[in-house]
Amino acid sequence: MKNNFSIKCRVCCSNDFNILFHAKNYEIKSSLDIKYFLCKKCKTIFLEKIPVDINEYYLNNYHPFNIDHSLSFKDKKNIKFIKKLKPNFSILEIGVGNGNFLSKLYDLGHKCFCIEPYASDTTNKLKNKNIKIISKTLENISDEDLNFEVDIIYSWHSIEHLRYFSSFLKICKKVINKGGYVIIGTPNPESLSFKYYRENWYHLQPPLHSYLINSKEIERQFSEIGFKKIKFCSYDIISMIASKYGWETSGYLLRKKTGKKIYSFIGKFLSFFMPLIEAILNRSSQYTIVFKK
């Protein structure tokens, strides 16, 4: 069924979609009812409206921004993977979280750039190093801001925060050197945990996540701009850790929603074995996909 032209899919721009569910953010005090649609063309799950006060949802205790001086297991694994792809490289990170990943690469001698509109504590930390920081949303970045080229674009659980996926593709086309790589980690709408929890899924994080995009649509759009997929993975240890946390925390959020403790116990119980099943099926709660230009 065709819909209001003022609403369109945030990934393929189609206006052919259905209402999927209503969701709320139970981690913050908000009565906002958040509507998600399912695009019938590309199967993206996308947010109807992004709140005007979206910055207020990125609170100081938003966990990716928590300052921790130690390098996480995920960061160590991804740095090791990137160095296998290209030992000597320049890199643009989109959405820097606590900044440890990029700071470590700078210390290792790599030329580093970042785009981060929200994490002011992190960007203040990175300003002490020779790292170019663009403190704008991707939608507001101009060509003048992108007067550089890099070998790697790294976006770890950032693309789902964008208003439209096209703004990310524009950056990739503009600044990636020939032979360079785009590395993406993002929540997996094909995961068993999403199919089970739906609007109560921890990794939905309404309204911070504007859309959940499936890997086939990402691959199709990157192929159109001259990139080739070289890796897809939703079964590695990083994905399994995300799945375990997602199963357990989704149960906790459902408990907060209903007031019934049983949902916390169910989530914890499922978290012991469902991540392994998801990994076997290559359908964990997050996936990594890599493209080469």
Neighbours of 100 (CB within 10 A): 18
8-state DSSP, 201: -
Tell which phi-psi region holds residue 257, choosing left (phi > 0), alpha (psi between -120 and 50) or beta: alpha
How much is the pLDDT for 123?
62
Instruction: Please state the φ and ψ torsions of residue 181, each to the nearest 5 degrees.
Output: -130, 150
Contact between 47 and 210 (Cβ < 8 Å): yes
How much is the pLDDT for 132?
85
The Cα 261–Cα 252 span in angstroms is: 8
How much is the pLDDT for 63?
58
Which candidate, 117, 132, 125, places its Cα nearest to that of 69? 125
Contact between 208 and 161 (Cβ < 8 Å): yes
Instruction: Please state the φ and ψ torsions of residue 203, each to the nearest 5 degrees.
Output: -75, -5
How much is the pLDDT for 145?
87
How much is the pLDDT for 29?
63
How much is the pLDDT for 1?
46
Instruction: Please state the φ and ψ torsions of residue 99, each to the nearest 5 degrees.
Output: 85, -5
For the beta sheet containing 286-292, the strands, ordered from the edge strand earlier in sequence to the opposite edge, are: 132-134, 111-115, 90-94, 150-156, 176-187, 286-292, 228-233
Q: What are the start and end residues of each CATH 3.40.50.150 domain in the chain?
A: 63-292
Q: Residue type at 170?
A: K
Contact between 106 and 167 (Cβ < 8 Å): no
How much is the pLDDT for 67?
57
The answer to whether the bond into 207 is cis (omega within 30° of 0) is yes
Contact between 257 and 150 (Cβ < 8 Å): no
Instruction: Say what the pTM is.
Output: 0.91
- Please identify every stretch of the chain with a pLDDT value under 50, giving residue numbers as ranges: 1
For the beta sheet containing 34-39, the strands, ordered from the edge strand earlier in sequence to the opposite edge, are: 17-23, 34-39, 45-47, 211-212
The Cα 147–Cα 17 span in angstroms is: 38
How much is the pLDDT for 30?
65
Q: Which CATH number fits domain 63-292: 3.40.1780.10, 3.40.50.300, 3.40.50.150, 3.40.30.10?
A: 3.40.50.150
Contact between 233 and 287 (Cβ < 8 Å): yes
CA distances from 96 to 28, 59, 92, 135 (A): 22, 15, 10, 11
Neighbours of 104 (CB within 10 A): 15
Contact between 190 and 243 (Cβ < 8 Å): no
The Cα 263–Cα 183 span in angstroms is: 35
